[in-house]
């Protein structure tokens, strides 16, 4: 999966549990509760896992259960919400890059299942 160009600047990565995925077409950020945090090298390792997710076909439901928020020392860099049912990830970037991309990934791949296991564990 193609990550935002700011991803190497990540110092802190939050795992977000999304309780109410409705209204995702209006999101400016991933809503939900932060359930855990990865720092520095561990955060970059998680992002490497995300970057290595194989691409897949985009389907329809988009009911994400988990997301991540990537921060550098000073600010939010980007957020990604993952739907493991329809194999979509919504990438949100705040200003000045302000972007919103929906990309497909193979949710049944080993990498995706490893990521889901990390989300559930934290």
Instruction: Quick: pLDDT tens for 4-55.
Output: 999 999 999 999 999 998 888 889 899 999 999 999 999 999 999 999 999 9
pLDDT at 97: 78
Mean pLDDT along residues 65-79: 97
Whole-model pTM: value is 0.94
DSSP for 17-50 reads: E-S--TTGGG-SS--SEEEEEEEHHHHHHHHHHH
pLDDT at 102: 92
CATH architecture of 7-121: 2-Layer Sandwich (3.30)
Residue 96 has pLDDT above 90, yes or no: no
């Amino acid at each position: 999966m193609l990550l935002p160009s700011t991803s190497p600047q990540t110092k802190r990565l939050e795992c977000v549990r999304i309780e109410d995925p409705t209204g995702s077409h209006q999101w400016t950020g991933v809503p939900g509760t932060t359930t855990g945090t990865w720092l520095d090298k561990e955060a970059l390792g998680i992002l490497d896992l995300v970057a290595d997710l194989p691409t897949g076909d985009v389907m329809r439901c988009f009911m994400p259960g988990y997301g991540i928020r990537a921060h550098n020392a000073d600010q939010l860099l980007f957020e990604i919400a993952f739907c493991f049912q329809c194999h979509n990830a919504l990438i949100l970037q705040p200003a000045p890059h302000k972007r919103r991309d929906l990309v497909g990934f193979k949710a049944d791949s080993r990498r995706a299942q490893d990521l889901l296991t990390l989300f559930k564990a934290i």
